[in-house]
Structure 1
Amino acid sequence: MATPTARSGLLRANLTVAAGTAISRITGVIRIIVFGVMVGQTALADAYDAANNAPNVVYELLLGGILTATLVPLFTRQMQDGDDDALSAISSVAVSALAALTAISIAVAPLIFRLFSLNPSSEIDIELFRQTGTLLTRLFLIQIFFYGVTSISSSILNARKQFFAAAWTPVLANLVTIATLLMINNVSKVDPPTLGEVTTNNPLRWLLGLGSTSGIIVMTIAMLIALRRNAVRIRWNFDLKHPAVRQLLRLSGWAVGYVAANQIALVVIKNLAKPGSGNVDAYSKAYTFLSLPHGLLAVSIATTFVPELARAAADLNTKEFARRFVSGVRLTALATIPASLGMYVLAKPLVAMLLQHGNFSAAATVNTARALAGLALGLAGFSIYLFVLRGFYAHNDTRTPFFINLFENALNIIFAILFVDKYDVLGLGLAFSIAYLISAVVALFILQRKTSEINAPKILLNLLPIALSAAVMAVVVKILSQQIAGDKATAGLQATSQVVVCVVVGALVYLVMIFALRVRELRELTGKHD
């Protein structure tokens, strides 16, 4: 049994991670707001989004899955064994691979950007779009090296139960990027800046390209400072035959496949959005908005439950595992189902409140709101899906999540192809939502086969009162929103007042409903566990 001191330490660690995640998500939203104000929803915005995604896709496809999935348990074991040599070998080989991957990626930047522009809009100059995107991609690809170093540093610190730096340094990256984006008007000769200007205006190109990259570099430097303060001893030891390096490669196979499926699906979806049309920017901004409630609500809940699930699985205590797992699913649903329906109903005024300023037009607001409406319906499915996968990881099973994730991404792509011609960005959002809702249910039934104490049909039936409460809330909010705004589009203070009033009233209606229906998960949130 954990001592009070140990529980207190775990609570502080969870709060640190939750707070860092929250501030990181919030500053991430501020970053896209600033970009929208300065650039608008244009072909340049799509080129910037694709170029900015390029280092993430390359890194995750080739190295990210290996490093993310296996480093923390490996480093934890090595720390317990006092094996500094293994730590040095893994770090040396990984840094070398990162340097080589970064150099090669920069050299083939035109090919990488072309992956994101296979299906460009016919309404733009395609060659200019690709030329501009390639110029920005070369500057963004520098981030690959620093992403990797940050991941290694974060894993070392997490293995030593030092969570502050890893949780909070992304905030620094966002703040640096925001500061550079605010300088666009100082270097751009036209407002908003265009694709052509990026190719001819060197200061603008360097500002756009190195702004985000500078943020990643600052984040990496902060992580290295944290390593130094924790007296981590690493020396150069490039040894491909070292047992720890071989173990790293052996353990990471399924994780690499999981990540690869996600990145391939992302490239397909971004191409279906017709790069250059503004739809890529709309989808990306909407997804960032979706990630905010997921990060604030679902991730915080998971952070609390995952250690308990892992302990129960390690102790072979299936009843305790099932009890805590079911509680986690229900709490996730309790928080995310109303958020899902609320974002769907308020998508347009919410986007107008946050984005419709400066160069971000009313048409861009409508486009982004359509993407958000489609994505919002899948928030609960997305969050529950990821929580269910944690049930497999608690049993050290990475193989099953790989196949489930392959299924989810296949569904996402199939539905996106079916919907995009008729519904454009709304269809892409709906494809995401349907894929995750189906996959969450499928994953739950598969986990039931692994842990017989879990009753998947009963879990789903017990979510009905929550869904009913959220549905009543959504109807009330929809009626209230129409009463406030009528048929007119709102923006600025009017949109803000519309959102605030609807959120407050909606929250009250939801609370009344879950009390009236005696939703017992409410006791979990108030600390009254079973």
Structure 2
Amino acid sequence: MNGGLYRSTHAAPDGQPPAEDGVTVVSVDAQGPGGDQALPPERIPPEQSGGSTTGQSAIMAVGSLVSRVIGFVRNALIGMALGAGVGDAYTSAQFLPGQIYELLLGGILSSVLIPLLVRRRKADADGGQEFTQKLLTFAATTLGIATLLVVAAAPVITAIQASAENTEAYRDLVTSFAYLILPIIFFTGVSALIGAVLNVRGHFAAPMWAPILNNLVIIATCGVFLLVFGTDKNLSPETVTAAQILLIGGGTLLGIIVQSIGLLPALRKVGFRWKWRWDPRSLGLREIGGLAGWMLLYVAANQVAVFVVVRLLNEVAGKGSASVLAFNNVYLLTMMAHGIIGVSVMTALLPKMSAAASEGRYAEVSADLSRGIKLTCAALAPIAVVYAVLGTPIAVVLFQGGNYSNDAALDTGTVLSVAAFAVLPLSISYLCTYAFYSLQGNRTVALINLPVVAVRIGAYFLLAAVLDKSLSAAGMTAANALSYLVSALISLAVLRRRIGRLNLGTVAVSLIKVAVAAAIAAALGFLVLKLLPGTGQPDGKVEALVQLVVGGAVIVIAYLGAALALRVQEISQVVGMVRRKLGR
């Protein structure tokens, strides 16, 4: 989890045409564990003074990369400090505020409140200052009340999410963490609202960089934990102390508080003053509720899936198998690959697709979507192969240490190898989702999501029933991959009916070439791995690092060579560009 902070990760490229109401379409990269889809596009005024769009995009791109890297350091240290058993309980408790926040505010913020703030900023004589103050007052009050009620109900919530197979000590530990972590809901909401106000006023950097403060606080907390308590191989839900719980849980809460405070200077910089104004009737809550309906349906379906996967994984938590912590770590690795490649492609294509769709040039929308799928798959294929072949070395290098044993890291690697098959379907489904957004098809996205989530949940239960308990996290990851594939297939079928021919023939030819190149790279990678010390099951970071460096180099070189020999156009273009740069 990333703290749940709403953030606009991409400013619109220069020269992007405005939408009908004079605002520019910008994509949102908001994710939650368990396979949530992208949230709808925001609409941001083009005339802001926060610097050039290109400059803002560069700042946010760097911020996103830095945040992801530091986020992995944070998660690795959490595992090292707590180990698998206590780490599972902590991660299970961490899912709760994210789920509840999304239901209370997450989806509504991006799909309803930001467009509303934009309209009032343009229409009101005071630039929407008074309306925004009233909205923040109402939202903060309701969030505060909701947070207090949720914290009071923590034992009930954790009891529902826990499994009957969990020990009493494990359930009590999740509840203890929940008391400390659930207040995050309020501060996450406040951070998100401040971020929205900043985005509407053309300031994008602070909302992007603020989560880094959160991560740094948690990293420092884990460092203190290891310094004070050391590494205890026997740390478990039965032996963890109240001081240890208070340190980790309190540090997690402090992180989001620091993140919220870190946004205040930027709020003053854009000239906004948060004055208390209680006047809910003037906000048009009925209109807001009507607009939020489809997004609530979308978010609620996803959160049901998150609830189910956490509950099923809790059945094996603390029993020496990969569980909630491993599942979440692997999910973050999957989203990193998607975020670096898939989101970048979507960011470049969405403005063009939106402009073409608004003028009825659906053939161009289709061409852009096809181009995006081919480029994304060609770029992500070697990453997927690396995850599949080198999953265990990656997990050992990233996560082993402290209280996170070699066996726990190897189990996490198995989950990562399965996640390799989710990387491409995930990004293709997102590309299709953004194509719908360019067509103003939020309702369609919400309706498609219902059978997708149904497949995901059904696969969760089926795989949990047929697989050995030690493979539960891998099974849940496979279920996610299946649901992404279903989402992509349904979306492509609906898009074909909506905009006509999708050039799927050329896409299929390109994907076949990419698959052949990936298969060659995977075969060579497996062969090299078998010849190296550890034969793919490294006993420590040194063996893992050797396998990762050598195996990764072989896979990348083999893939590029095979792709060039097969004339995969997208790879040839990238290689040609690099050659021209080096030639200069």
**TM-score normalised by length of structure 1:** 0.92
| Corresponding position: 1:16 with 2:65 | no
Q: By how many angstroms is 1:283 displaced? A: 1.2
Gaps of 5+ in 1: none
Aligned to 1:168: 209
Q: By how many angstroms is 1:496 displaced? A: 0.7
- Count residues in correspondence: 521
Aligned to 2:553: 504
| Structure richer in helix, relative to its length | 1
Q: In 2 relative to 1, CA 13–38 (structure 1 residues): closer, same or farther, beyond 3 Å? A: same
Q: In 2 relative to 1, CA 450–4 (structure 1 residues): closer, same or farther, beyond 3 Å? A: closer
Return the alpha-carbon distance in structure 2 between the equivalents of residues 80 and 12 of structure 1.
24
* Pairing of 1:264-303 with structure 2 (within 5 A): 264-273=304-313, 274=315, 275-277=317-319, 278=321, 279-303=323-347
Question: For residues 429-458 of structure 1, what are the alpha-carbon distances to aligned partners after superposition, in whole Å with 9 as ceiling and x for unaligned?
Answer: 211112212221221221222212534454
Aligned to 2:40: none
Return the alpha-carbon distance in structure 2 between the equivalents of residues 15 and 289 of structure 1.
22
CA contact (8 A) 2:135 2:283 kept: no
CA contact (8 A) 1:444 1:456 kept: no
Aligned to 2:90: 48
| Corresponding position: 1:71 with 2:116 | no
Query: Which residue, 566, 571, 582 being the options, matches 1:522?
Result: 571
| Corresponding position: 1:418 with 2:458 | no
Q: In 2 relative to 1, CA 448–321 (structure 1 residues): closer, same or farther, beyond 3 Å? A: same
Aligned to 2:380: 336
1:472 alignment partner AA: I
Aligned to 2:30: none
1:437 alignment partner AA: L
Query: Which residue, 116, 138, 148 being the options, matches 2:189?
Result: 148
CA contact (8 A) 1:154 1:166 kept: yes
CA contact (8 A) 1:68 1:151 kept: no
Q: By how many angstroms is 1:197 displaced? A: 4.4
Q: By how many angstroms is 1:175 displaced? A: 1.1
Aligned to 2:288: 248
Q: By how many angstroms is 1:368 displaced? A: 0.9
1:78 alignment partner AA: R
Identity %: 31
2:145 alignment partner AA: A
Query: Which residue, 92, 95, 118 being the options, matches 2:137?
Result: 92
Aligned to 1:101: 146
| Segment of structure 1 superposing worse, 354-363 or 144-153 | 354-363
CA contact (8 A) 2:564 2:572 kept: no
Question: For residues 473-523 of structure 1, what are the alpha-carbon distances to aligned partners after superposition, in whole Å with 9 as ceiling and x for unaligned?
Answer: 111111111111354631212211210122122111211222222222236
Aligned to 1:159: 200
CA contact (8 A) 1:90 1:245 kept: no
Return the alpha-carbon distance in structure 2 between the equivalents of residues 14 and 489 of structure 1.
41
Return the alpha-carbon distance in structure 1 between the equivalents of residues 573 and 358 of structure 2.
24
Question: For residues 28-59 of structure 1, what are the alpha-carbon distances to aligned partners after superposition, in whole Å with 9 as ceiling and x for unaligned?
Answer: 111111112222212x1111011111111111
* Pairing of 1:363-512 with structure 2 (within 5 A): 363-420=407-464, 421-422=466-467, 423-456=471-504, 458-485=506-533, 487=535, 489-490=537-538, 491-512=540-561
Return the alpha-carbon distance in structure 1 between the equivalents of residues 449 and 369 of structure 2.
20
Q: In 2 relative to 1, CA 233–394 (structure 1 residues): closer, same or farther, beyond 3 Å? A: farther
Q: By how many angstroms is 1:237 displaced? A: 2.8
Gaps of 5+ in 2: 1-12, 18-45, 578-584
Aligned to 1:120: 165
2:528 alignment partner AA: L
| Corresponding position: 1:179 with 2:223 | no
CA contact (8 A) 2:521 2:558 kept: yes
Q: By how many angstroms is 1:174 displaced? A: 0.9
CA contact (8 A) 2:363 2:499 kept: no
Instruction: List, as ranges, runs of 4+ consecutive aligned residues in structure 1 with deviation greater than 4 Å.
Output: 1-8, 523-528
CA-based RMSD of the aligned residues comes to 2.5
Q: In 2 relative to 1, CA 120–76 (structure 1 residues): closer, same or farther, beyond 3 Å? A: farther
Aligned to 1:30: 73
Aligned to 2:399: 355
2:163 alignment partner AA: L
Q: 3-state DSSP class of the match of 2:192?
A: helix
